Structure formats: structure tokens, C-alpha cells
Amino acid sequence: MNSHQRRDAILKLIQQGDIPISASALAKQFHVSRQLIVGDIALLRAQGCHIIATPRGYLYEQSASDQTVKTIAVCHRSEELNDEIYTIVDLGGALLDVIVEHPLYGELRGSLHIYSRYDADQFFNKLADKKAVPLSSLTDGIHLHTIRVHDEACYERILDALRVKGYLYEKG
């Protein structure tokens, strides 16, 4: 199999997959290095393929024309992170990313792609295993999320719940 055939096969696997597939898993399947897979993904993205990298692996970004994408501003303590994320996904939202404004680097964005409590738990476990801190720790808890919702009613439910919990950032 040449590199072009491998990239085609990788793209097909990612497009057909319902769950993220890691670079390591792809490397094992194609008997190449993980770094070669990362390079293949970069080339596929450069060709316009809508591959997204999540903390759990690669996904193909499906068309979401029937859904709405919104950005919300939130602020909470680090020990409230789990509750914030559970609130969003339990009410039907997909948590796509986190964004903070860093005084030196400007906007920093981290891809999340959390669609369920299972995804959230995977994220929390990885955070703990790596002894990492959330990006919001750089900004005293203030951060943005890009979320995808099915409709405006879902978006309003999420806002209301975050507001009640005191997580929605609405200070001016």
C-alpha cells in the first residue's frame, strides 16, 4: 500500500467511524509510526477534509446544517468543571471547544468534542491522569465554549441552567 492509498483508507475509516480513532490505533492498523499518521492527517486536512482532533482521537465533522452553533461565556471554580460540562450535555448540547483569552498569546482554543457524560468522564479521567489543569485556570475561571444544539429551545435550557448554577458569565 502506498502513501496515497493509506491516506484514502484512513479517511474512509474516520468518515465511517462513530467513535474517535487515535493516531496510535491507526498506526498499528497500517503498520506505520504514529508520527506518519499525524502527517497523513495533516495532509488530508490540507486537502480540505473535515477531520477534527479530539482528546480521544480523530473524528470526521459531519454536516450539522440542522443544528445551531453558539458561543457561551462561563465562569466557575475548577471544582465545578464536571457539573458545568454535565449540565451542557445533559440538556442536549454538544461541547465543541473551550476558549480563553491569554494576556500574552491572545486567544487559546482547546478542542473538546464532548457529546455525552461518557465523553465527559473520558475527558475528566485524562485530565486527572495527565495531572493537567483546564485552560480556564489561566483566566480565573472565565472562558468561552462553542456548543452545538438542536434548536433555540435547547440553547435557552442550557443558558437557564447555567445561569441558575451561577456559571453563566453575564457581568458587564
**Ordered structural domains, the chain, with CATH:** 3-60 (1.10.10.10), 68-165 (3.30.1340.20)
- Give yes or no for a contact between 11 and 50, defined as CB atoms under 8 angstroms apart: no
Residue by residue, DSSP assigns 46-64 as HTT--EEEETTEEEE----
- Give yes or no for a contact between 53 and 19, defined as CB atoms under 8 angstroms apart: no
Q: What are phi and psi of 67, to 5 degrees?
A: -120, 165
Per-residue pLDDT tens over the stretch 52-76:
887 778 888 765 556 789 999 999 9
Per-residue pLDDT tens over the stretch 108-156:
999 898 988 988 999 999 999 999 988 888 888 899 999 999 889 999 9
Residue by residue, DSSP assigns 112-163 as EEE-SHHHHHHHHHHHHHTT---GGGGGTTEEEEEEEESSHHHHHHHHHHHH
Averaged pLDDT, 6-13? 94
Give the residues across from 142 on adjacent strands. 75
